[in-house]
Structure 1
Amino acid sequence: MSTTSQSDRAALIIGASRGLGLVLADELARRGWRVIATTRRSSGELQASADAWNGRLKVESLEMTSPEQLTALRERLEGCPLDLLFVNAAIDRGNLPIHEVSTEMFTEVMTTNALSPLRALEALRGLVAPGGTVAVMSSDQGSISRNTEGGYELYKASKAALNQLMRSYATRHADDGHTKLLIDPGHNQTQLGGPDAPLVPQESIPAVVDVLEAQSGAPGLQFLDRHGKTVPW
Structure 2
Amino acid sequence: MSATPNRQALVIGASRGLGLVLADELVRRGWRVIATARQRGGELPAKADASDGLLTVELLEMTSQEQLAALRARLTDTRLDLLFVNAAIDRGDLPIHEVPTDMFTEVMITNALSPLRVVETLRDLVVPGGTVAVMSSEQGSISQNTEDGYELYKASKAALNQLMRSYATRHADDEHTKLLIDPGHNRTRLGGPDAPLAPTESIPAVVDVLEAQAGALGLQFLDRHGKTVPW
TM-score interval w.r.t. the shorter chain? over 0.9
Count of residue pairs the alignment pairs up: 231
* RMSD, matched Cα: 0.7
Deviation for aligned residue 1:84: 0.1
Unaligned runs of 5+ in 1: none
- 1:77-116 aligned at under 5 Å gives the runs 77-116=75-114
What is the aligned counterpart of 1:221 among 214, 219, 222? 219
Deviation for aligned residue 1:80: 1.0
1:164 correspondence with 2:162: yes
State the percentage of identical aligned residues: 81
Deviation for aligned residue 1:79: 1.1
Deviation for aligned residue 1:201: 0.3
CA separation in 2, counterparts of 1:82 and 1:123? 13
CA separation in 1, counterparts of 2:31 and 2:128? 17
Q: Deviations over 1:125-172 (max 9, x none)?
A: 010001000000000000000000000000000000000000000000
Deviation for aligned residue 1:104: 0.1
Q: Which amino acid aligns with 2:22?
A: L
Deviation for aligned residue 1:48: 1.1
CA separation in 2, counterparts of 1:57 and 1:79? 17
Q: Which amino acid aligns with 1:227?
A: H
Q: Which amino acid aligns with 1:102?
A: P
Q: Which residue does 1:125 correspond to in 2? A: 123
Runs of 4+ that moved beyond 6 A: none
1:190 correspondence with 2:157: no
Q: Deviations over 1:72-124 (max 9, x none)?
A: 11110111100000000000000000011000000000000000000000000
What is the aligned counterpart of 1:136 among 124, 134, 137? 134
Q: Which amino acid aligns with 1:41?
A: Q
CA separation in 2, counterparts of 1:197 and 1:124? 32
- Using the size of structure 1 for normalisation, the TM-score is 0.98
Deviation for aligned residue 1:44: 2.0
Q: Which residue does 1:14 correspond to in 2? A: 12
Deviation for aligned residue 1:205: 0.1
Q: Which moved more, 1:163-172 or 1:70-79?
A: 70-79
Q: Secondary structure at the match of 1:99?
A: helix
Unaligned runs of 5+ in 2: none
Deviation for aligned residue 1:43: 3.0
